[in-house]
Amino acid sequence: MSNKQIIGFDADDTLWENEIFFYQAQRKFIELHPHIKDPEQAILQIEKKNIKFYGYGIKGFILSLLETSVRYSSNQPNFQNIDKIIKIGKEMLAQPIQLLPHAKDTLRHLSEHYTLIMITKGDLLDQQRKVEKSGLLKYFSSIEIVWEKDKQTYLEILQKNNISPKDFLMVGNSLKSDVLPVTKVGGTGIYIPHKFTWKHEEVDSTFDLDRFVELKNISDLKVWLKN
């Protein structure tokens, strides 16, 4: 791979919609379980515990919803609710790709001047499906679907692709996954907030970083890179 500047892109909620479907599914779950006092917190705690078993993605999320349903039903599950939760999962997996505004145009422009790689975490089959159906594959020199996006993961990707950290930019909507670990290895994190962010991806403490940029929109990348 060339030693010119490399730009990494997150996929979910950076290039296409993702969290909105989890939010909608959670709303449906809550309607089915009005007896749970704090359903969002109940779901989150079980999800966080299950990440080490299921990883990230829709399948793990649905398994966590099923577990929440059973646990908060005195271990006497409502089989109609279980059937509805399974259907919610299948609907999520069947969702068409909804590209975020300016994503395709920005990638088309940047791919003419930079080497682009996609770095996304989640269920392998589901992420591959989304990549293929997005129509964006042609703009990337490589696609990395990983278990976790932490400092070690980024170091391995950079080493595998012969990329110097100082030449690496990572664009994403998660401070926890796309920005902080990249700055720790010597790269630059470019944060583009999304309306919906999973609570597990939120960062509690404030921070002051040299190699950190926040942009409002992915199209702002073209202007920022010229400066």
What range defines the domain where residue 156 resides? Answer: 6-16+98-226
Domain contains 172: yes
Domain contains 65: yes
Query: Are 171 and 218 in contact, with CB atoms under 8 Å apart?
Result: yes
Q: Can you give the pLDDT at residue 204?
A: 63
Do 86 and 109 fall into the same domain?
no
Do 110 and 174 fall into the same domain?
yes
Do 83 and 112 fall into the same domain?
no
Residue ending a domain, among 93, 118, 137, is 93
Domain contains 1: no
Q: What is the average pLDDT across 140-159?
A: 96
Do 46 and 151 fall into the same domain?
no
Return phi, psi of residue 139, to 5°. Answer: -90, -5
Do 103 and 136 fall into the same domain?
yes
Least reliable range by pLDDT among 1-15, 101-115, 168-182: 1-15
β-bridge partners, 145: 120
Do 110 and 211 fall into the same domain?
yes
Question: Residue 127: which CATH number?
Answer: 3.40.50.1000
CB-neighbour burial class of residue 3 (10 A; exposed 0-12, middle 13-18, buried 19+): exposed
Do 162 and 139 fall into the same domain?
yes
Do 190 and 221 fall into the same domain?
yes
Query: Are 126 and 16 in contact, with CB atoms under 8 Å apart?
Result: no
* Amino acid, single-letter form, for residue 31: E
Q: Can you give the pLDDT at residue 5?
A: 85
Domain contains 112: yes
Kindly state the tokens that stand for 8: 């990494």
Q: How many domains does the chain have?
A: 2
Place of tokens 């892109």: 9
Residue ending a domain, among 93, 125, 152, is 93
Checking phi first, is residue 186 left (phi over 0); if not, alpha (psi -120 to 50) or beta?
left
SS3 of residue 190 by DSSP: strand
Share of the chain above pLDDT 90, in %: 86
- DSSP states of 78-106 as a string? -HHHHHHHHHHHHHHHTPPP-BPTTHHHH
Do 128 and 47 fall into the same domain?
no
- pLDDT tens for residues 80-130? 999 999 999 999 999 999 999 999 999 999 999 999 999 999 999 999 999
Least reliable range by pLDDT among 3-7, 34-38, 112-116, 145-149: 3-7
Residue 198 has pLDDT above 90, yes or no: no
Residue ending a domain, among 93, 126, 150, is 93
Q: What is the average pLDDT across 24-31?
A: 97
Query: Are 191 and 209 in contact, with CB atoms under 8 Å apart?
Result: no
Place of tokens 């932490």: 150
Q: Can you give the pLDDT at residue 2?
A: 41
Predicted TM-score (pTM) of the model is: 0.91
Do 139 and 174 fall into the same domain?
yes
Question: Residue 41: which CATH number?
Answer: 1.10.150.240
